Amino acid sequence: MKDSKDTLEALRAEIERRNPAQPEFHQAVREVLETLAPVFAARPE
């Protein structure tokens, strides 16, 4: 089973793959995922 960090990284990579010409969107996604990382780590279910 993946840990939350791996799951969030996979989500980020998929979003960047689907939206390759959107660097500002990529940055926003990274910032949101960084903010949510502690929540996912605390509640892995």
pLDDT digits (tens, 9 = 90+) for 4-42: 889 999 999 999 999 999 999 999 999 999 999 999 889
Position 1 scores a pLDDT of 46
Measure the CA–CA gap between 17 and 11, rounded to whole angstroms.
10
Measure the CA–CA gap between 24 and 45, rounded to whole angstroms.
30
Position 13 scores a pLDDT of 98
Measure the CA–CA gap between 45 and 4, rounded to whole angstroms.
9
- Give this prediction's pTM: 0.83
Position 45 scores a pLDDT of 77
Using DSSP, state whether 38 is helix, strand or coil.
Answer: helix
**What residues does each domain of the chain span?**
4-42
